[in-house]
Amino acid sequence: MSALRLLGLPKLGLPLRAAGTAARVGRSRPFPPPPPRRAMSRYITEERGLPGSDQYRLYFKTTAGHYISPFHDIPLKTESKEAVFNMVVEVPRWTNAKMEIATKEPLNPIKQDIKKGKLRYVANIFPHKGYIWNYGALPQTWEDPHHKDTTTNCCGDNDPIDVCEIGSKVRARGEIIQVKILGILALIDEDETDWKLIAISVDDPEASKFHNIDDVRKHKPSYLEATLDWFRLYKVPDGKPENKFAFNGEFKDKDFALQVIESVHKHWKALLHKKADGGDINCVNVQVCDSPFCCSEEEARSIVQSASTAVNEDSNSKEDEDIHRWHFIKK
């Protein structure tokens, strides 16, 4: 095998040709065709506004440059025959900013959550720094706030279902990764069911070791206990009581988790077809063609441009207020 192939130079920036075409360097053999594209390669992100500000938004686009909704347009499942799901990464591991899909905004960009007029950051729960997993959501799912779950006896929290990805890599905000589901935890947050899926990315070096929740106990001892403690305590530094759990904090297995995913996917379908009351949830999408909320690619682009114009005007207004305040203090 040539040194070039051992070094894997195509991954270091050399342009890849179409599958099957030869790419020769000197007398070396042609590079093999690139592997099948994963879900991540089908999407790119675009930042608008300054990170760490209330105007920051992370929009999603196809590689063709068309804006989409990460909530509604990214498929729940991958094209794999296995039970592999797409995950939208909202918060990279070890970070504190509480980023989330903006479910009430058109095209649902990622933004930082705000409470009482301030940007939200989770506290460090000793001995951890920030979120202890890559945190995000499964697209095309919705925990219906009007539907009482028969197993938890609480209604949904009005969001896509959350995912804790436990792999070894620190993922990027807005990254779309393929995960296999291992189990689930039922957090009860202010009398609402807030499911937390436990998953691992299929491209993780140790993914082949994990098939169910018991494998997490075996190969990552104390990780589930740390997860339970984190969710129980993360709001306490803000003056709130400890969170509670259904099933006495027991992690349910993969089969149970898959049933929950099927349920919240059905609720999302009802939402997108006006068969459920979504309240302020924004259902505008580009690729769910049979949905009454489906818009054209041109309309989606106009939505983003209009939102960005409004943000710029708001930012300029705040700058004018700051300048006026500075002059007043100076006088």
User: Where do the structural domains in the chain lie, given as residue ranges?
Assistant: 43-308
- Size of the chain in residues: 331
**Would you say residue 72 has pLDDT above 70?**
yes
Share of the chain above pLDDT 70, in %: 81
138 within 8 A of 90, measured Cβ to Cβ: no
- CATH number for 43-308: choose from 3.90.80.10, 3.30.420.130, 3.40.50.720, 3.30.420.40: 3.90.80.10
Window from 120-134, 172-186, 313-327 with minimum mean pLDDT: 313-327
**Model pTM above 0.85:** no
Place of tokens 């360097």: 25
Closest residue by Cα to residue 134 from 176, 71, 90 = 90
C-alpha span between 185 and 183 (Å, rounded): 7
Position with higher pLDDT, 320 vs 205: 205
How many CB atoms neighbour CB 113 within 10 A?
16
